[in-house]
């Protein structure tokens, strides 16, 4: 955590400006992971990718269902005798 020198807010690692007051943070106090500092972690993970893939799969299934149903010939049209004009 980085403490803001202006307002005292504890900011997470990776920030350049304070989340509370917007003042520029002193980044010279940060230790790199090789010097014993904390490792940066990405927020969110793969949750967004999973939701996006699920939506794409649902759209594809719906599209296939529409194409399949559109290609079906009604049974009454096959068995009805031809009409004369």
Alpha-helical (H) ranges within 1-85 are: 47-71, 75-79
Mean pLDDT of 36-56: 72
More confidently predicted of 85 and 45: 85
- Run of H or E residues at 66: helix 47-71
The rounded mean pLDDT for the chain is 80
Mean pLDDT of 16-34: 82
pLDDT of 72 reads 85
Mean pLDDT of 45-63: 88
Mean pLDDT of 13-36: 80
């Amino acid at each position: 955590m980085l403490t803001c020198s202006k307002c005292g807010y504890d900011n997470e690692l990776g920030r350049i400006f304070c989340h509370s007051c917007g003042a520029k943070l002193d980044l010279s106090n940060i230790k790199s992971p090789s010097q014993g500092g904390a490792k940066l972690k990405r927020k969110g993970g793969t949750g967004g990718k999973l939701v996006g893939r699920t939506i794409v799969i649902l759209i594809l299934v719906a599209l296939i269902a529409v194409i399949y149903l559109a290609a079906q010939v009604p049974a009454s049209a096959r068995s009805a005798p031809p009409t004369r004009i």
